[in-house]
């Protein structure tokens, strides 16, 4: 199972915002879309960062409610770890576990073409494990 197969199932829509957007707008977007992170894209269309609910909690803890009146660029993570469509489910799981984040944007030819969350990874991993178990049961019964 690779990233292309995951995107085939879930689609390629990615929630994005601009670095100058206010945190309040991001909070509203996350709530409305029931998601945990938004990719920040610059005017040139290139990914400039990612902002997740964890960053918002940290922003409010450090700056108080006024954080919501500040731009996303102040709190986003700039060094975004991305993947390509050919990357495998196992590689994504390893990256998310080692780096302790739950979202990986998919970038091909410098364009944002999708995003994979830990929810997508867990869902496909369970499906793979169930298929393996079912194949083993069939093999044992046949033997």
Residue numbers at the binding site for ligand AMP (CB under 6 A) = 36-37, 50-55, 77, 79-81, 101-104
Q: Which is nearer to ligand AMP, 105 or 139 (CB)?
A: 105
Rounded to the nearest whole angstrom, what is the least distance from the CB of residue 74 to ligand AMP in the complex? 12
Nearest-angstrom CA–CA distance, 17 and 5: 26
Rounded to the nearest whole angstrom, what is the least distance from the CB of residue 120 to ligand AMP in the complex? 12
Could you tell me the maximum CA-CA distance found in the chain, to the nearest angstrom? 67
| Helix 118-142, helix 89-99: angle, nearest 10 | 130
To 5 degrees, how large is the angle CA 63–CA 69–CA 75? 55
Rounded to the nearest whole angstrom, what is the least distance from the CB of residue 118 to ligand AMP in the complex? 7
Closest CA to 31 of 20, 18, 15: 15
Q: Assess contact for 50 and 102: CB atoms under 8 A.
A: no
Q: Which is nearer to ligand AMP, 4 or 81 (CB)?
A: 81
Q: Which is nearer to ligand AMP, 79 or 141 (CB)?
A: 79
Find the length of the chain.
Answer: 143
Q: Which is nearer to ligand AMP, 103 or 124 (CB)?
A: 103
Rounded to the nearest whole angstrom, what is the least distance from the CB of residue 72 to ligand AMP in the complex? 11
Q: Which residue sits closest to ligand AMP, CB atoms considered?
A: 52
């Amino acid at each position: 199972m690779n990233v292309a197969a995951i995107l085939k199932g879930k689609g390629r829509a990615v929630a994005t915002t601009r670095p100058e957007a206010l945190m309040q707008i991001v909070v509203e977007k996350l709530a409305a879309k029931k998601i945990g992170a938004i990719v920040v894209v610059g005017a040139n269309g290139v990914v400039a960062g990612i902002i997740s609910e964890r960053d918002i909690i940290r922003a409010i803890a450090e700056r108080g409610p006024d954080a919501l009146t500040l731009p996303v660029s102040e709190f986003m993570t700039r060094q975004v770890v991305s993947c390509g469509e050919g990357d495998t489910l196992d590689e994504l799981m390893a990256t998310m576990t080692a780096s302790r984040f739950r979202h990986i944007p998919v970038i091909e030819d410098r364009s944002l073409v999708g995003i994979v969350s830990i929810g997508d990874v867990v869902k496909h991993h369970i499906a793979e494990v169930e298929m393996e178990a079912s194949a083993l049961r069939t093999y044992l019964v046949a033997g």
